[in-house]
A and B are shown apart, each in its own frame.
Chain A
């Protein structure tokens, strides 16, 4: 039986569904004309050639869950991991914005218009952003404004401006406002000097004022139709592009970005740890890996360099950005850096709490890595080790975990300013807690340090 994908209901042009574990999209008859235009105008081929729109193939119509309104059933290329804007670093959101504008521009050249500009229509695949909504194109009507202008400003421009001009942590507003940050709120939060910036003052501040002023007003057909030429839409898109381009967040040196240069690891013990992790990965031979608290991805790359699809989660937006910059620079195809606070991971969000999946719902994976992480969860966040084990066991089959004892300088630092209320935090306590749920496959001391690496398999 096909299962409708719960986040796919807003657009009447079609919907996503799952059948036998594979993802498909029903294209409704309502969308027939636009779909044919997309496919026959050359737009699809152009976007496919540049790998900017998800590729698809048409399959038998008999798969359609609602055949009475179906025109086609298509099977899009598989995306390794679905991520959301509130999990991206600044440069990821910026690249997603630029791609959206690029596609809107290219669509116009082929007589089509991008009818929505949702950040959720972008995913990261093989290290690059890709547009995943095949049904987002409509026939361009001469003289009509760009219908997705408001959405673009809410989903992209407002959060990027807030991150660049106020505080990078404001990205988390996207988790609260699932249809983008309201422009009046962005306008209030942005510093006064952003009014001197042409792009921000027009697309955010004046835009927000205009929304307020005309909130309850109806607008006549004559007021809109024929008022925006194609050249004017190009002008609008180019202005948004240059505004987005001008926004920058320096790759900030936050808590973890200097970790490997500035801790008590010697080069020899770092290499010994790499060697152990590599051996464990080779033993497990996973298809998918999640590296929790993976910092800038040093250890994640031991997996992704073996062409294993790897997601590297870290709480620090600076580390995620550094990692993403590296992915781009080296054109890495198997690494996806994401921002995630493991003490409060992405929940199920949106309508019916089912539009956007929690982090856990997007698993489980074959292998979870948690290196130099346990002390942050067990000591900084007071999570009992048995609960840490329980959570990790929900995320994946195998676990590579590093136990960092109290004698380690990093743990001493965490305990320096608080009383030690963790009598069970010991190698023995660790083994006891994790043995409830896992078998210990291997256990190795990390040469030149106090730490131990474990390879565990779920019971």
Chain B
């Protein structure tokens, strides 16, 4: 049999313990193809713009659109356990 359930397949290859769900996986493949194309177009335009403006295309690339993980670190103690026991 070539056919494996998604769960078996995923569990065999990684540490994953969640059931990703057959329907969820399949819709994701379709959606991701569509949305990924959007990302590809964005990058393509940025490269074209970069070519004409002379700026590196990678500039601004690391900026997170969520604005969360690029936050300035707050002035909290760096030792995790010294904060409060």
The interface of chain A, by Cβ under 8 A from chain B, is 10-13, 22, 30-31, 34, 46-47, 49-52, 54-57, 75-78, 80, 98-99, 101-103, 105-106, 109, 115-116, 126, 128, 138-139, 141, 145-151, 153, 202-203, 206-207, 210-215, 217-224, 227-229, 231-236, 238-239, 241, 309, 331
CB atoms of B16 and A238 under 8 A apart: no
Q: Which of these, A57, A138, A232, contacts B16 with CB under 8 Å?
A: A138
Contacts of B3 in A (CB 8 A): 218, 220-221
Least CB distance from A313 to B in Å reads 21
Tell whether A238 pairs with B35 under 8 Å between CB atoms, given A80-B84, A212-B23: yes
Contacts of B10 in A (CB 8 A): 147
Cβ of B62 under 8 Å from chain A: yes
Shortest Cβ distance from A233 into B: residue = B32
Bound: A148/B34 CA distance, A: 19
7 A-B residue pairings within 8 Å (CB atoms): A51-B74, A99-B68, A115-B14, A116-B18, A211-B21, A233-B32, A234-B36
Q: Which has the most chain A C-beta neighbours within 10 Å: B14, B27, B62, B76?
A: B27
Q: Which of these, A126, A145, A210, contacts B23 with CB under 8 Å?
A: A210
Q: Which of these, B22, B28, B80, contacts A236 with CB under 8 Å?
A: B28
CB atoms of B27 and A76 under 8 A apart: no
Shortest Cβ distance from A97 into B: residue = B66
> Considering only CB atoms and an 8 Å cut-off, how many residues of chain B contact the other chain?
53
Cβ of B64 under 8 Å from chain A: yes
Bound: A138/B62 CA distance, A: 21
Against A, the Cβ 8 Å flags (1 = close, 0 = not) of B59-82 are 000101111111101101011110
The interface of chain B, by Cβ under 8 A from chain A, is 2-6, 9-10, 13-18, 20-29, 31-40, 43, 62, 64-71, 73-74, 76, 78-81, 83-85
Least CB distance from A347 to B in Å reads 25
Tell whether A149 pairs with B17 under 8 Å between CB atoms, given A50-B71, A52-B69, A219-B6: no
Q: Which of these, B16, B33, B84, contacts A78 with CB under 8 Å?
A: B84
Contacts of B14 in A (CB 8 A): 115, 138-139, 141, 147
Tell whether A52 pairs with B68 under 8 Å between CB atoms, given A211-B21, A218-B4, A227-B29: yes
Contacts of B70 in A (CB 8 A): 50
Bound: A50/B63 CA distance, A: 13
CB atoms of B2 and A55 under 8 A apart: no
Given contacts A54-B80, A211-B27, 6 further A-B pairs with CB under 8 A are A141-B13, A150-B18, A218-B4, A232-B36, A235-B35, A239-B35
Bound: A75/B81 CA distance, A: 8
Q: Which of these, B17, B27, B29, B62, contacts A224 with CB under 8 Å?
A: B29
Tell whether A57 pairs with B22 under 8 Å between CB atoms, given A98-B68, A138-B16: no
Tell whether A228 pairs with B69 under 8 Å between CB atoms, given A78-B81, A214-B22, A233-B36: no
CB atoms of A150 and B21 under 8 A apart: yes
Bound: A407/B64 CA distance, A: 57
CB atoms of A31 and B39 under 8 A apart: no
Bound: A78/B77 CA distance, A: 12
Bound: A191/B14 CA distance, A: 39
Bound: A346/B22 CA distance, A: 33
